[in-house]
Chain A
Amino acid sequence: MTRNEETGQGLDDATLARACRTAAVTVFVSTLLLLMLLHAAPAAHAAEVRVVIEDVRSTSGVLRVQVLTATDAGEGPAVAQLMLPAVKPQVRATLHDLEPGRYAARVHHDLDGDGEMATNLVGMPTEPWGVSNDARGRFGPPPFKDMVVEVGVDGGELRMTLVH
């Protein structure tokens, strides 16, 4: 399986941790890139995974979705990167041929289409974003474990609501 080793223009973890404390709340910034659908290895038990993005408020730009594997240690490599047209109020896509397992996803509504998460002067995201299960942190980024979805042989769903 091809792995996406790129890490994007988002903030690194240390900066992120600081930014989070900054406002004493979660300031979650994902490392989102110009995303493309990557190769997914055909598997004996291929499953179908629906990606659903809620509360899309603008048709500008594109939605960039990163689908990640979950390992025992936490975040694993990305298995898919999608660039989807923005449709109000909901965007749906289907990933075929994923192996049953544990997955998570992030989305960034790239309103200006520049491929980067727009931020304010201190690095907080100013374009809409979301994570699977709508996981939320309290004083830090959403815990990755709360983003994880089990995908069985019958498939699964990665659902996220945009934060504006």
Chain B
Amino acid sequence: MGLKRNVGLVTGLRYQGKGPMLTFVLHRIGGLGIVIFVATHILASFLGGPAGVFVNTIYQHWAFQIVVFFCALFHAINGLRIVILDLWPKLIEHQREAIWMEWGIFFPIYTIAVIVILRTALGG
């Protein structure tokens, strides 16, 4: 018995979940991004050789680091919000405020990190 769904993919994509939906999507992308990054990273340093060097040059590129850092930071901050709201369900009432707080924490840290990454990469 497979699961019966009453919503198709196209309808699903039209769901307007606003802020909370956005965090769900970004959390998912972030989590998958870290899994893929860590898996290829470990394989690369395990294998070494030309393939390993190739992967490492990609990882050291500033554009790649900006993306990975977005994934990791967002996943970590949003993950903490999920854990807190899940373990104290009463707080769910304040989910929207919690999400705004999250962005308030995320943006300054991410901006500083991007500046540092770009300065090291482009300015030397």
Partners in one complex: no
A residues contacting B by CB (< 8 A) are none
